[in-house]
A and B are shown apart, each in its own frame.
Chain A
Amino acid sequence: MFRYIVRRLLQMILTFFGATFVVFALMFANQDDPVQALAGEKPVSASLREALTERYHLDEGLLSQYWYYMSNLLTGDLGESISGREIGTLLEDSWPVTVRLSLMALVIAAALALGAGVWSAIRRGSVFDNGILAFTLLLLALPIVVLAPVAQWIFGMELGWFPATASRNASFYALLLPALVLATTVVATQLRVTRTSVAENLRADYVRTARAKGLAPRRVIWVHVLRNSLIPLVTLIGVDLGVLMSGALVTEGVFNIPGVGSKLAQGIRTEDGPMVVGFVSVLVIVFLVMNLVVDLLYAALDPRIRYE
């Protein structure tokens, strides 16, 4: 077990360099003219262009730009965004609210998926099952770019149940609506997968055995079946973090939350290479740690899986 974790941690370092390099290359490929992107449509004077190009090494090749970046990073310096702000500070400012938002969304989604998924698997073909099916499809069919503003308009502005916008120090309540919207991006898949694997496990031999032993049906479902059905769901939660981050790009914008998502969107829009790579580096680390945790959870949930 210990050796397994050490090995995974070593692999993480490789993945980290791989991912940052790929993102760096993508940003490089996407770079048309960051100096112009900064100025919008105003003409950029030749003098300003030259000065900025030199400061951020914009005229150099991909590898040498990556080298500048990495050598700074290894000394603990995340560098400056092209708009002249410390990326370290930017991250510190925007990280906490995004963590809170995505955790809330994950918990909401997982709770809904488990509850409704198990219930529809038990009552397959019932009104509840079909209702849930229709509802998740609706969520799936409405892209978040539609869902977020519509939810803001209906629940924030028309009905006034939630504040229409949140901020960096938003309360739990102010983040609830954006978290719900964000949860919709992953709940449909989680729910379907839960339903499927519960339905499958309900027919497994061990369930029949458990039932035959005379165990209470509730115990059979919530302990025996669910534990085995959790494996695909747990996998998904690891993947969902990525989906959540994509969703956060839009949701944070709509609800005015100055988190990682909205900063990242801004960085991509303004072709701010250092900023995007800085943010993505941290995201990648979070992914890697999450996925290690997910893999360890497998072993915990399924004794048949052993890591050496």
Chain B
Amino acid sequence: MLGKRPWRMAAIAAAISLLVAGCGSGDSEDPTAAGNTVVIGISEPQHLLPTNATDSSSAQVLNSLFYPLVTFDAEKNPVEVAAEKISVAKGNRVWTIKLKPGFTFHNGEPVTAQNYIDAWNYGAYKPNAQGGGYFFDRIAGYADLNPLDPDGDGPEKAAEPTTNKMSGLKKIDDLTFQVTLSAPFASFKSVIAYSVFFPLPKAAFSSDGVIAKGFEENLIGNGPFKMKGSWVHDDKIVVEKYADFKGVVPKVDGVTWKIYGDQMAAYADLVDNNLDVQTTIPTDALANAPADLGERFQKSENSVFEFIGFPTFLPQYKNPNVRKAISMAINREEIASQIFLGSRTAAKSFVSPVVSGYRENSCGEPCEYNPTKARELYQQNGGPKEIKITYNVDGGHKSWVDATCNQIRASLQVNCIGEQEPKFAVMQDKLQKHQDIGLIRLGWIMDYPLMENYLNPLYGTNGGSNYYGWSSAAFDTLVKEGSKAATPEASIKKWQEAEDILAEEMPVIPLRYGQNVYGYSERVTNVEVDLFSRVNLYELETLA
């Protein structure tokens, strides 16, 4: 029996373990950049098929593999890139998109109008369950591809869509196609800059409307870089220059998108110069970033907007004056500088400064910190004895909620507690069931740079992110009129009028605007991070 030699056995077991542990390792080196290439840190993208990719990591990668129809200039106005000309007729309903000639996909296929139509139809078709599918809902025929369950969660099944082609998409010739919207929208051109509107080559489909197996791991795009090898999940995605690219050529020869599960780990690599760019330095590392990185620690604006909402079913917050008093009790600047260490700025309007039409301090006095006035107003209007702010604990919100509560407690002389829920979905659920969850923390990142992309989803009666249920017919009408207006300027005017209603009603307390806080290694220069928290790959350079 083995029993006679336990020692030998133990020794052998230990030796085997060490061998297993030691071997099979070190054969592939870390993706430390060599030559004129850079390493940029991201999280694992949820998806890379453009119509399914809605997180910022996949947007970054897709941006290297694809060339968008339009992009935004310094004033956030859309300008054509892969499109030669985008024109509009019939009161902002029918849009004609003409593509630049000579572009090819990375497999040599020419880029045609049909590639866009196929990709968009795939994205909108309900059984494909694409995360970015809702972007197509302005296009005529979207509803036919997305029949809704007649009784919600009930036993009745939704009807199968009758077609997988949107009636609003029409090919004119190889390089031109026409998009008909279901309702006029003056700023549609801004919407199609988003990555869900990228084209897909014929090679992406194994048959009509079916994506070929393995395509997502080996994407073929129309952009400046092509995949070098497949997507190595949880590890890296390597892209290299595409020689036949006809657009603006980037200055680096390739990018390694290095995938991190935890952004603190990415930061450790950045400090060690194993990573060239990190677009979002985690808040916990910010205190050390200026010392660790010096000049290589930078900030730029992004579209994040953070606020606190008042669920309308709670009677104690019905009075707008109570809401204003709570708003005045909060010292936004102190929290932005001491809790967020400058990675946020104080917000005093209801839309982010990155959109045209933004006005500084449109909120006015109610967003200024004034503890004395806040307490007077609060007591006159009989605010509740205890204030509760509910937040999802997986998002790193504890610090600022605690600090906000401390301020409210000091200013209003009432108790304030931060209530934790494990996940955002639990908060949503409690809201739907009208449970007393107090104030709720919320945030928003825009899909396209328009005021409308803040006003409608956040405050519109049917807004997708209007979780607190505020509703104003006058506000809805103004937003709708703005969307239909003849020119973008006329739109903005209507939208600003709508924002003024928000300032009177205070359905939410604006708290902070986001900032990209990014850092880079000693190897690279000309690092810019845009509104969507993406590195500008066309400017980025390595130091020889």
Assess the B126–A50 pair: CB atoms within 8 A.
Answer: yes
Given A50-B126, A107-B14, A165-B425 contact (CB < 8 Å)? no
Residue from B6, B20, B149, B429 in contact with A100 in the complex, judged by beta carbons closer than 8 Å:
B20
Residue from A100, A230, A255 in contact with B21 in the complex, judged by beta carbons closer than 8 Å:
A100
Identify which of A35-43, A127-135, A212-220, A239-247 touches chain B. Answer: A35-43
Residues of A within 8 A of B414 (CB): none
Does A211 touch B at the CB level, under 8 Å? no
Q: How far is the CA of A107 from the CA of B17 in the complex (A)?
A: 8
Given A39-B131, A51-B127, A164-B265, A85-B17 contact (CB < 8 Å)? no
Assess the A39–B133 pair: CB atoms within 8 A.
Answer: no
Given A40-B424, A253-B261, A83-B234 contact (CB < 8 Å)? no
Instruction: For the complex formed, measure the closest distance between the CB of A126 and the CB atoms of chain B, giving whole angstroms.
Output: 27
Instruction: For the complex formed, measure the closest distance between the CB of A297 and the CB atoms of chain B, giving whole angstroms.
Output: 8
Assess the A256–B21 pair: CB atoms within 8 A.
Answer: no
Residues of B within 8 A of A223 (CB): 7
Identify which of A149-157, A183-191, A273-281 touches chain B. Answer: A149-157
Residues of A within 8 A of B233 (CB): 85, 89-90, 93, 258
Assess the B261–A37 pair: CB atoms within 8 A.
Answer: no
Nearest A residue (CB) for B157: A54
Does B294 touch A at the CB level, under 8 Å? no
Assess the A32–B9 pair: CB atoms within 8 A.
Answer: no
Nearest A residue (CB) for B52: A84
Tell me the A257-307 residues at the B interface (CB within 8 Å): 258, 262-263, 266, 269, 271, 296-297, 299-301, 303
Residue from B9, B129, B137, B265 in contact with A254 in the complex, judged by beta carbons closer than 8 Å:
B265
Assess the A47–B443 pair: CB atoms within 8 A.
Answer: no
Assess the A164–B269 pair: CB atoms within 8 A.
Answer: yes
Assess the B425–A169 pair: CB atoms within 8 A.
Answer: no
Assess the B25–A45 pair: CB atoms within 8 A.
Answer: no
Nearest B residue (CB) for A46: B148
Given A169-B27, A269-B394, A258-B235 contact (CB < 8 Å)? yes
**1/0 per position for A151-171, CB-CB distance to B under 8 A?**
011001100100111011111
Instruction: For the complex formed, measure the closest distance between the CB of B262 and the CB atoms of chain A, giving whole angstroms.
Output: 5
Residues of B within 8 A of A299 (CB): 3
Residues of B within 8 A of A78 (CB): none
Residues of A within 8 A of B394 (CB): 269
Assess the A41–B443 pair: CB atoms within 8 A.
Answer: yes
Q: How far is the CA of A282 from the CA of B260 in the complex (A)?
A: 24
Residues of A within 8 A of B25 (CB): 100, 169-172, 175
Assess the A36–B264 pair: CB atoms within 8 A.
Answer: no
Residue from B7, B235, B424 in contact with A168 in the complex, judged by beta carbons closer than 8 Å:
B235
Q: How far is the CA of A93 from the CA of B261 in the complex (A)?
A: 15
Chain A interface SS verdict (over half): helix
Given A40-B424, A94-B234, A300-B6, A262-B271 contact (CB < 8 Å)? no
Residues of A within 8 A of B443 (CB): 41
Does A106 touch B at the CB level, under 8 Å? yes
Nearest B residue (CB) for A299: B3
Does A62 touch B at the CB level, under 8 Å? no
Residues of B within 8 A of A297 (CB): 6, 9
**1/0 per position for B122-155, CB-CB distance to A under 8 A?**
0000111111011001000000001011000100
Residue from B2, B259, B260, B272 in contact with A163 in the complex, judged by beta carbons closer than 8 Å:
B272
Given A50-B126, A169-B27, A170-B25, A83-B47 contact (CB < 8 Å)? yes
Assess the B9–A45 pair: CB atoms within 8 A.
Answer: no
Does A103 touch B at the CB level, under 8 Å? yes
Given A256-B266, A300-B2, A164-B261 contact (CB < 8 Å)? no
Of B30, B55, B271, chain A has the most CB atoms within 10 Å of the CB of B30
Does A99 touch B at the CB level, under 8 Å? yes
Q: How far is the CA of A85 from the CA of B394 in the complex (A)?
A: 23
Assess the A50–B128 pair: CB atoms within 8 A.
Answer: no
Nearest A residue (CB) for B429: A32
Residues of A within 8 A of B28 (CB): 169
Nearest B residue (CB) for A45: B134
Nearest A residue (CB) for B22: A172
Assess the A47–B146 pair: CB atoms within 8 A.
Answer: yes
Residues of A within 8 A of B107 (CB): none
Does B1 touch A at the CB level, under 8 Å? yes
Does B472 touch A at the CB level, under 8 Å? no
Instruction: For the complex formed, measure the closest distance between the CB of A12 and the CB atoms of chain B, giving whole angstroms.
Output: 21
Instruction: For the complex formed, measure the closest distance between the CB of A91 and the CB atoms of chain B, giving whole angstroms.
Output: 12
Q: How far is the CA of A59 from the CA of B25 in the complex (A)?
A: 44
Does B24 touch A at the CB level, under 8 Å? yes
Assess the B426–A32 pair: CB atoms within 8 A.
Answer: yes
Tell me the B249-279 residues at the A interface (CB within 8 Å): 259-262, 264-266, 268-269, 271-272, 274
Given A83-B47, A104-B21, A258-B235, A43-B464 contact (CB < 8 Å)? yes
Does B312 touch A at the CB level, under 8 Å? no
Does B423 touch A at the CB level, under 8 Å? yes
Does A208 touch B at the CB level, under 8 Å? no
Tell me the A80-106 residues at the B interface (CB within 8 Å): 83-85, 89-90, 93-94, 96, 99-101, 103-104, 106
Q: How far is the CA of A43 from the CA of B442 in the complex (A)?
A: 12
Does B158 touch A at the CB level, under 8 Å? yes
Residues of B within 8 A of A123 (CB): none
Residues of B within 8 A of A301 (CB): 3, 6
Tell me the A20-40 residues at the B interface (CB within 8 Å): 32-33, 36-40
Assess the B21–A103 pair: CB atoms within 8 A.
Answer: yes
Residue from B27, B158, B259, B268 in contact with A157 in the complex, judged by beta carbons closer than 8 Å:
B268
Nearest A residue (CB) for B236: A167
Residues of A within 8 A of B137 (CB): 45
Does A7 touch B at the CB level, under 8 Å? no
Residue from B14, B129, B272, B426 in contact with A55 in the complex, judged by beta carbons closer than 8 Å:
B129
Instruction: For the complex formed, measure the closest distance between the CB of A169 and the CB atoms of chain B, giving whole angstroms.
Output: 5
Does B54 touch A at the CB level, under 8 Å? yes
Residue from B21, B261, B265, B428 in contact with A33 in the complex, judged by beta carbons closer than 8 Å:
B428
Tell me the A92-147 residues at the B interface (CB within 8 Å): 93-94, 96, 99-101, 103-104, 106-107, 110-111
Does B35 touch A at the CB level, under 8 Å? no
Residues of A within 8 A of B20 (CB): 99-100, 103
Does B46 touch A at the CB level, under 8 Å? yes
Given A99-B20, A164-B268, A48-B425 contact (CB < 8 Å)? no
Residues of B within 8 A of A99 (CB): 20
Q: How far is the CA of A22 from the CA of B47 in the complex (A)?
A: 30
Does A227 touch B at the CB level, under 8 Å? yes
Residues of B within 8 A of A170 (CB): 25-26
Given A300-B2, A303-B3, A48-B24 contact (CB < 8 Å)? no
Enumerate 22 A-B pairs (CB-CB under 8 Å) in ascending A order.
A33-B423, A38-B131, A43-B457, A45-B137, A50-B126, A89-B233, A90-B233, A96-B24, A100-B25, A156-B268, A157-B272, A163-B274, A164-B269, A164-B272, A165-B265, A167-B235, A169-B28, A170-B25, A172-B22, A175-B21, A223-B7, A255-B265
The 5 closest A-B pairs by CB, nearest first: A43-B464, A258-B234, A164-B268, A171-B26, A256-B265
Q: Which residues of A contact B (CB under 8 A)?
A: 32-33, 36-43, 45-48, 50-52, 55, 59, 83-85, 89-90, 93-94, 96, 99-101, 103-104, 106-107, 110-111, 149, 152-153, 156-157, 160, 163-165, 167-172, 175, 179, 223, 227, 230, 252-256, 258, 262-263, 266, 269, 271, 296-297, 299-301, 303
